[in-house]
Amino acid sequence: MNYKLPLVLTPQAEGGYTVTSPLLPELVTEGDSVAEALSNVKDALAAVVELYEDLGRPLPRSTWLPSSQEPIWFETVVSAP
């Protein structure tokens, strides 16, 4: 299933990034680069979804995508040469 959620990438003093979401405070992951940090979000989100299911809590409604047939608007970080 696809979800939409805001992500905050915070640079760390020792290098790399920590990723959190103001919408899902339980989501925390990291990576040595932006690409790695964003890649790790998938596993972190899967763990949060499982946690919510185990607790019988619904995910916030704004994380749901209405249909796979509608366009998805999002912002991302892209590195270019």
Within-domain flag for 66 = no
Q: Is residue 71 part of a domain?
A: no
Whether 54 maps to a domain, the answer reads yes
How high is the mean pLDDT of the chain?
A: 91
Give the domain range for residue 33.
8-59
Query: Is 67 contained in some domain?
Result: no
Alpha helix segments (H runs only) across 1-81: 34-55
Q: How many domains does the chain have?
A: 1
- Quick: pLDDT tens for 35-69: 999 999 999 999 999 999 999 999 998 888 877 77
Looking at this protein, which amino acid is placed at residue 4?
Answer: K
Question: Is 74 a member of any domain?
Answer: no
Do the domain assignments include residue 25?
Answer: yes
Residue 24 counted as domain residue: yes
- Helix (H) or strand (E) run with residue 10 in it: strand 8-11
